[in-house]
């Protein structure tokens, strides 16, 4: 056969395959969007694999046989994985979840004996204090979250909160907050993330069972926290203020009615036409000068976090935006796990770093997608459940 004809036939065949693939992908996306379908089993498998990898990753290992816990992978997993248990009719907690929480409890019990996640000696000045402040807040949050369905605070939770209040700053510019890890990594570990950490502390107090937030012995510390969150509110990025909105659904005295309504309207104004949100829009350059310039396309992390928080806030003006956010999540569980689309479709929601380009197929390149998937699971599972009562709006 004429070589030119062979080449033409080959190109035609490739083109046909591409058209078929594109058609199938478009059909799949359209079907998911119309049916509101998502795959909880695939999401659980992704989260479990990622947690298993984190536990075994050499860089996360710490002394006394423990490992550090990150906002993007470990903490997000601790919050989201329990939500899939009833959905998947599981008889108990997933094995990686049990290992994570035992690690948290072990570090709480060994608080005085373990080294900080990062030390001044090996990483740089201030890192020991930053590590202790960050760990104290994250430990209290994960343990309180675990205890909430049971209705009782564990011994380790009580100890974790005691560590948290001990680490709270009582004077200076950050009075009421905690020293927080700063590695120039937005949105969780940079100079502006101290406010984010304080919002997580407020969420921890709010979700803790046994009316913990009303205990007399924490009122002075709690008042310092509220004062800090109010004092620095106006200067914060939208991302950090959204975290405060979430905390305000569980703990009173954080936002008044006018602030709450204004913040919700600001969030809704940044929603994209497709129903999602962009992380770059939440963390603009004026707040995060070292972050990469991003695009305005909707991404998994911003869309999941905001949809979840709007659900929890349960304010009437957000109902339509929340519904559109849920539809975006239901039709965008589309991360490609392990390679190109021709291999197999993953069960996660895709997002990317604001700080540096990382290969989306690498383990560190999936950090943002870990958080995106966890918050998407929380939003999508919560949408089928009665919402908690909104905390009082008055300070």
Over residues 100-114, the mean pLDDT reads 98
8 Å CB contact between 39 and 333 = yes
How far apart are alpha carbons 270 and 22 in whole angstroms?
30
Is the pLDDT assigned to residue 342 strictly greater than 90? Answer: no
Over residues 367-381, the mean pLDDT reads 97
Is the pLDDT assigned to residue 93 strictly greater than 80? Answer: yes
pLDDT band at 295 (very low <50, low <70, confident <90, very high): confident
pLDDT computed for residue 354 by the predictor = 87
Lowest mean pLDDT among 77-91, 214-228, 325-339: 325-339
Tokens of 356: 């540096």
Please state, rounded to an integer, the average pLDDT across all residues of the chain.
Answer: 86
**Residue 48 or residue 393, greater confidence:** 48
Which pLDDT tens digit goes with each residue over 8-52?
A: 444 444 443 343 333 334 333 433 333 358 999 999 999 999 999
Which pLDDT tens digit goes with each residue over 173-221?
A: 999 999 999 999 999 999 999 999 999 999 999 999 999 999 999 999 9
38-382 CATH fold: Glycosyltransferase (1.50.10)
- Which residues are CB-neighbours of 275 under 8 A, at least 6 positions away? 298, 303, 324, 325, 327, 328
**Residue 286 or residue 347, greater confidence:** 347
List residues bridging with 336 in a β-sheet.
Answer: 345
Residue linked to tokens 């035609």: 12
Q: Report domain extents, the chain.
A: 38-382
pLDDT band at 356 (very low <50, low <70, confident <90, very high): confident
Sign of CA dihedral 348, 305, 200, 209: negative
């Amino acid at each position: 056969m004429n070589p030119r004809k062979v080449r033409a036939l080959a190109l035609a065949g490739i083109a046909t395959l591409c058209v078929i693939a594109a058609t199938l992908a478009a059909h799949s996306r359209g079907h998911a969007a119309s049916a509101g379908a998502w795959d909880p089993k695939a999401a659980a498998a992704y989260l479990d694999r990622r947690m298993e990898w984190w536990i075994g990753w050499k860089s996360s290992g710490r002394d006394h046989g423990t490992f550090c816990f990150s906002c993007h992978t470990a903490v997000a997993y601790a919050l989201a994985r329990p939500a899939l248990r009833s959905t998947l009719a599981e008889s108990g907690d997933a094995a990686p979840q049990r290992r994570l929480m035992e690690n948290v409890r072990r570090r709480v019990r060994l608080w005085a004996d373990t080294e900080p996640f990062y030390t001044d000696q090996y990483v740089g000045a201030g890192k020991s204090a930053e590590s202790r402040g960050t760990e104290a807040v994250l430990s209290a949050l994960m343990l309180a979250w675990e205890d909430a369905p049971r209705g009782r605070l564990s011994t380790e939770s009580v100890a974790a909160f005691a560590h948290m209040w001990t680490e709270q700053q009582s004077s200076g510019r950050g009075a009421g907050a905690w020293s927080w890890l700063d590695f120039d990594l937005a949105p969780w570990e940079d100079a502006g993330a101290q406010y984010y950490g304080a919002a997580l502390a407020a969420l921890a107090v709010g979700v803790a069972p046994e009316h913990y937030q009303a205990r007399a012995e924490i009122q002075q510390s709690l008042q310092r926290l509220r004062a800090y969150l109010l004092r620095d509110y106006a200067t914060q990025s939208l991302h950090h203020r959204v975290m405060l909105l979430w905390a305000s659904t569980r703990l009173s005295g954080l936002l008044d009615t006018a602030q709450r309504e204004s913040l919700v309207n600001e969030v809704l104004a940044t929603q994209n036409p497709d129903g999602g949100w962009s992380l770059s829009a939440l963390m603009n350059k004026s707040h995060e000068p070292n972050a990469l310039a991003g695009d305005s396309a909707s991404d998994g992390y911003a869309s999941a976090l905001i949809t979840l928080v709007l659900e929890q806030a349960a304010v009437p003006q957000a109902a339509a935006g929340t519904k559109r956010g849920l539809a975006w999540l239901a039709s965008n569980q589309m991360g490609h796990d392990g390679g190109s689309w021709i291999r197999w479709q993953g069960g996660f929601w895709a997002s990317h770093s604001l700080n540096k380009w990382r290969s989306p197929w690498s383990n560190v390149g999936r950090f943002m997608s870990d958080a995106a998937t966890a918050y998407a699971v929380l939003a999508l599972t919560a949408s089928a459940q009665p919402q908690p009562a909104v905390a009082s709006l008055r300070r």
